[in-house]
Amino acid sequence: MSEAERARVLVEALPYFRRYHGKTVVVKYGGAAMVQEDLKQQVMADIVLMHIVGIRPVLVHGGGPEVSEAMKKIGKEPLFVRGLRVTDEETVRIAEMVLAGTTNKGIVSLIHQHGGRAVGLSGKDGNLLVARKMEVEGADLGFVGEVIQVNTHLVETLLHGGYVPVISSIAVGSRGETFNSNADHVAGQLAAALRAEKLLLLTDVRGILADVQDANSLLSHLSLSQARELVETGAVDRGMIPKVEACLMAVEGGVPGAHILDGRAPHSLLTELFTDQGVGTMVTRAGDSHSG
Ligand code: ADP
Ligand code: MG
């Protein structure tokens, strides 16, 4: 790239810097971007850059593979229903140790290595995520929590103080019990509660595919009703269900745009935020006009 081209890239990003200045963007971090070393570094650099140009990033992370690994070590076989982990008492303890412990603190220190400032929280801190047992027809998911209340005060305090909040999806029940909530759902609910400008969900596919078998069937823009229909007809299944539901929760809750992005693509967060390129799947209320 020539020097002139480099300068042009920065100048083109300027209107986007201006547009998102002071706005909250919730990022759900997961999939390959959480496992592959080069992608991990890129995501952290993207988050730090967002923060430096005046965005208020909030990072929500999963950690499914790490929880599954810890379960297998003690001879437990992970089991999923509609993309949600069946969570008995032992599993919820493991999930809290892994997600609120090593995974969360690992992300916090990566952000620091990239020159940012971050604080790790679970849903128990500041009573951030209050949940009750999630009821699902025909299955007992155990300690899977449905978040019924989001107390954003602590997150707002951290953002105000110049910290990137890094949040694990461990929630607390009304009697202090521990719940394992789905990180996609948590990201969607947090985005709504924080009145975020955007919800960005990183995953291992290009976005929502009309046909899972066909990588070229990407749906680049959906309205709320189109997104709902995909879940109802079963065109979307497994781990994509909570992601689409998260987009619905966010947009129904007033977030202008929710995006499912390919975390395997380099710097997909920056491409989505700071260029004209529409990447992944965008869900908006009406679904018609392209708004970046
Ligand atoms: P993450 O770790 O990012 O949460 P998941 O594995 O939980 O990822 O969810 C993404 C997966 O959802 C995809 O890898 C794909 O197998 C599955 N999926 C199901 N239906 C669809 C669809 N219509 N379009 C894209 N992916 C789908
Ligand atoms: Mg998932």
β-bridge partners, 226: none
Percentage with pLDDT > 90 across the chain: 85
Percentage with pLDDT > 70 across the chain: 98
Please report the pLDDT score of residue 17 as a whole number.
95
Dist CA 202 CA 272 (whole Å): 11
List active site positions.
28, 31, 64, 184, 243
Dist CA 269 CA 200 (whole Å): 8
Among the listed residues 187, 169, 177, the one whose alpha carbon sits nearest the alpha carbon of residue 104: 169
C-alpha gyration radius of the chain: 18
Report CA(25)–ligand 1 centroid distance (Å): 22
Please report the pLDDT score of residue 277 as a whole number.
84
Q: Which of 81, 240, 260 to mutate to test the pocket of ligand 1 (most atoms within 8 A of CB)?
A: 240
Q: In ligand 1, which atom is closest to the CA atom of 263?
A: 3
Tokens (6 digits) for 162: 């110049």
The pLDDT tens digits for 75-98 are 999 999 888 899 999 999 999 999
Is the pLDDT assigned to residue 290 strictly greater than 70? Answer: no
- Give the pLDDT band (50/70/90) at residue 278: confident
CA distances from 242 to 40, 139, 249, 265 (A): 23, 16, 10, 22
Ligand sitting nearest the alpha carbon of 28: 1
Please report the pLDDT score of residue 242 as a whole number.
94
Mean pLDDT of 170-190: 97
- Give the pLDDT band (50/70/90) at residue 18: very high
Q: Which residue has the higher pLDDT, 120 or 137?
A: 120
Please report the pLDDT score of residue 276 as a whole number.
84
Report CA(17)–ligand 1 centroid distance (Å): 31
Specify whether the CB–CB gap between 170 and 178 falls below 8 A: yes
The pLDDT tens digits for 26-79 are 999 988 889 899 999 999 999 999 999 999 999 999 898 999 999 999 999 999
59 CB contacts (<8 Å, ≥6 apart)?
27, 29, 47, 107, 118, 164, 165, 166, 167
Mean pLDDT of 144-170: 98
Identity of residue 37: E
Mean pLDDT of 99-123: 97
Please report the pLDDT score of residue 292 as a whole number.
43
Please report the pLDDT score of residue 31 as a whole number.
86
CB-defined site of ligand 1, < 6 Å: 30-31, 62, 64, 83, 203-205, 208-209, 212, 235-240
Q: Report residue 128: phi and psi, to 5°.
A: -60, -50
The pLDDT tens digits for 221-273 are 999 999 999 999 999 998 899 999 999 999 999 999 999 999 999 999 999 99
Please report the pLDDT score of residue 248 as a whole number.
98
Report CA(209)–ligand 1 centroid distance (Å): 9
Q: Whose CA is nearest to atom 2 of ligand 1?
A: 31
Please report the pLDDT score of residue 32 as a whole number.
85
- Give the pLDDT band (50/70/90) at residue 288: low
Mean pLDDT taken over the chain:
94
